[in-house]
Amino acid sequence: MASRSTKSPLQSIIMDRAARKSLQTQVFDQVRGAILSGQLSPGTRLPATRILASDLHVSRNTILGAFERLHAEGYIEGLAGSGTRVSNILPEELLLARNRSRVPSGDAVPAGKLSRLSQISTLNNPQNRHRPGPARAFRPGLPDLSQFPFQLWGQLVAKSWRNPPTDTLLAGEMEGYFPLRQSISDYLGAVRGLHCAPEQVLITSGAQQALDLIARVIIDPGDKVWLEDPGYHGLRSTLQAAGAKIYDIRVDEEGICVKRGRKQAPDSVLAAITPSHQYPLGTTMSLTRRLELLDWAKTSNAWILEDDYDSEFRYAGKPHLALQGLDQSQRVIYVGTFSKVLFPALRLGYMVVPAPLLTSFTAVRASIDDYPALALQPALHRFIDDGHFASHIRKLRKLYSKRQQTMINALQQHAAGCLIASPTQAGMHLVVRLNRACGFDDKQISDRAAKAGLIAPALSRFYKGKHSSQGLVLGYAGLSEQEVNLGVKHLAQLL
């Protein structure tokens, strides 16, 4: 009988009635697997559907459905009359010998096979990047989430999805949701002194995407770039991925030394700087230096990337306006983010692009990521225009200023003589200097802190050149005063 002669190769079929997969799919998968693994060779006759159904205790329709699919995909031939056989058209040498495990392991592909990846993929090591993580003492750059008005935010988000702009859902706005671009342009004009029309504002997925976009629009392999030394590591790999040749230009108390830059690489195409609040030093670029830099960019046709990453938090009441507002030659590309004021996973940042570059930026953006998600843009627009953004900043400013003072006091109390902190007028972290007399190296302390569960990046690690300073970069914004106190006490015990 047909059933007997062909039953054996399909005996291994097992029906799992608790599985998510339908019974039909289970039959299909297992017969296909048997064919591909060579268990069922080409030409082999399959059991009659009626018999298989009864063997497996499933309905005949289940088997018929599975066989129809196997037939449609070319695994089996002849559904009626003469019986069903494993297809002969399968090139035998292509049939695969082994079954694979459901969850492939990382070791399954020999290392040599992975060699065919790009150079870029070897540049980036996520471990090296200064990424946000859980709020722990003293991770820099994290906001205090307990202060965020989630109730209100949830209402704004829900409202924006109740009647979403249908056209925008289908078409998307390449540069971002226009009303939000308008809110940002108003805010930047009034508070940061930028000169910009809403049309120049592009919404990005956080500042990092803006940095990547700039790298791609500006940099060709071999192009020279000035970075601040010390500076932000996250930017380095992005620029390197675009093929930039990086020159680390020393930063002094006035900001990046333009004269050194002019000497080391006068023909750079880009200078990336943090003029409002140098990262990590916390200093503000002087007016003279700003004008010098603008003059260099103008005369050498170079671009300036102004990263205004945490300018919202200035405590001493004298906000230094953005460099962009001083630029009369359209050489400054300004980058800002909502990660620091609201929360990092919002992934909404923005850039202000000189008008003549707008077309290039939107064109490159199209091939990277089409356009920004509508998701929370309308809600954020309302959040800003209804004044919640400004009042949230005011609240945080007061809070963070107090926390900075708490940290300075705690350092004086517990680590006086070894860790020297002076107040800064802005930001979310302190740079604490090391007293050399104490005989410690900052990397040593930082590593010791890491072992004790504290995050205290060594200042010298932010430097690339020979001249580095010793110190620790300690975030305070996201920590309660108690956490600041306990953390500092803990840190002092390690010295």
Nearest distance in Å: CB 374, a copy of itself:
4
Q: Which of residues 437-456 bind a copy of itself (CB under 8 A)?
A: none
Residue 271 CB, shortest distance to a copy of itself, in Å, is: 13
| CB of 302 vs a copy of itself, minimal distance in Å | 7
Residue spans of beta strands (DSSP E) within 241-316: 245-252, 255-256, 270-273, 303-307
Among 45, 83, 186, 315, which residue interacts with a copy of itself (rule: CB under 8 A)? 186
Residues 201-230 within binding reach of a copy of itself (CB under 8 A): 205-206, 208-209, 212, 216-221, 223
Q: Which of 230, 275, 372, 471 binds a copy of itself (CB under 8 A)?
A: 372
Q: Which of residues 231-270 bind a copy of itself (CB under 8 A)?
A: 234, 237-238, 241-242, 269
Region of residue 27 (left: phi > 0; alpha: psi -120 to 50; beta: else): alpha
423 belongs to the binding site for a copy of itself (CB under 8 A): no
120 CB neighbour count, 10 Å cutoff:
12
Copy the structure tokens of residue 270.
Answer: 């880009």
The interface with a copy of itself within residues 458-487 (CB under 8 A) comprises 478
Q: Taking CB under 8 A as the rule, which mask of x and - marks residues 47-86 in contact with a copy of itself? A: ---------------------xx--xxxx-----------
Nearer to a copy of itself, 314 or 418 (CB): 314
Does residue 21 interact with a copy of itself by CB under 8 A? Answer: yes
Q: What's the residue count for the chain?
A: 495
Write phi, then psi, for 122 (nearest 5 degrees). Answer: -95, -10
- CB nearer a copy of itself, residue 154 or residue 423: 154
CA nearest neighbour of 403 among 291, 489, 479: 479
In 345-415, beta strands by DSSP E: 349-352
DSSP letters for 418-441: TEE----SBSSEEEEEE-GGG---
How many binding residues for a copy of itself (CB under 8 A)? 145
Stretch binding a copy of itself (CB under 8 A), from 46-54, 323-331, 403-411, 430-438: 323-331
Residue showing tokens 């060709």: 220
C-alpha dist (Å) from residue 126 to 130, 132, 211, 380: 9, 11, 16, 29
Contact residue for a copy of itself among 36, 390, 399, 495 (CB under 8 A): 36
Q: Quick one: tokens of 265?
A: 């690489």
Site for a copy of itself in 125-184 (CB under 8 A): 125-126, 129, 131-135, 142-143, 145, 150-151, 153-155, 157-158, 161-164, 166-172, 174
Nearer to a copy of itself, 295 or 441 (CB): 295
Looking at residues 280 to 319 of the shown chain, list those that interact with a copy of itself (rule: CB under 8 A): 286-288, 291-292, 294-295, 301-303, 317-319
Q: Which residues contact 464 (CB under 8 A, 6 or more apart)?
A: 227, 229, 230, 231, 248
As measured in angstroms, the least distance from the Cβ of 148 to a copy of itself is 8
Q: Kindly tell me which residue out of 356, 437, 451, 482 binds a copy of itself, with binding defined by CB under 8 A.
A: 356
Packing angle between helix 150-162 and helix 377-385, nearest 10 degrees?
120
Q: Closer to a copy of itself at the Cβ: 169 or 437?
A: 169
Phi, psi values for residue 352, rounded to 5° = -115, 120
Rounded-to-10 torsion of CA 372, 373, 376, 380 = 20
